[in-house]
């Protein structure tokens, strides 16, 4: 669940507000988003992945809000850590580049064997 928006780090780009699928954020007058509907958060991590300055922290606890200390999270490198994990950001290697499993084979049921063509 989304827990932290760091107003110190935020550069008011508005990306998190745009990409959130459940409209969790509202934008303050100064352009910094606030968590307005935390209970609607789906813990999808999309906002954290998109934030270009690692100003967000989504906790892995999807069902409950947890007390988070921004300073401690920042010191531990947890702000924006999902973005780092998936390799988004300049100079990083994306998970997609490392993963050699064809994605289609993971999401579709096994394909039927293709019958051999008879030679004429």
81 binds ligand SF4 (CB under 6 A): no
80 binds ligand SF4 (CB under 6 A): no
Burial of residue 41 (number of CB atoms within 10 Å: 0-12, 13-18, 19+): buried
β-sheet bridge partners, residue 34? 26
The single residue among 3, 4, 8, 12 that binds ligand SF4, judged by CB under 6 A, is 12
CA distance linking residue 25 with residue 27, whole number of Å: 7
The single residue among 4, 26, 29, 55 that binds ligand SF4, judged by CB under 6 A, is 55
**Which range in 40-48, 67-75, 81-89, 95-103 contacts ligand SF4 by CB under 6 A?**
40-48
CA distance linking residue 88 with residue 85, whole number of Å: 8
Taking alpha carbons only, the member of 3, 26, 30 closest to residue 16 is: 26
Binding residues (CB under 6 A) for ligand SF4: these are 2, 5, 10-16, 19-22, 24, 33, 41-47, 50-51, 53, 55-56, 58
């Amino acid at each position: 669940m989304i827990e932290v928006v760091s107003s110190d780090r935020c550069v008011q780009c508005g990306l998190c507000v745009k990409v959130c699928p459940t409209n969790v954020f509202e934008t303050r007058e100064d352009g910094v988003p606030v968590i307005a509907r935390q209970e609607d958060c789906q813990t999808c991590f999309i906002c954290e992945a998109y934030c270009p300055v690692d100003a967000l922290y989504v906790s892995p606890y999807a069902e409950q809000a947890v007390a988070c200390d921004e300073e401690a999270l920042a010191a531990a490198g947890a702000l924006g850590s999902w973005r780092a994990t998936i390799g988004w950001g300049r100079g990083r290697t994306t998970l997609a580049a490392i993963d050699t499993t064809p994605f289609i084979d993971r999401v579709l049921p096994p394909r039927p064997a293709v019958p051999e063509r008879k030679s004429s």
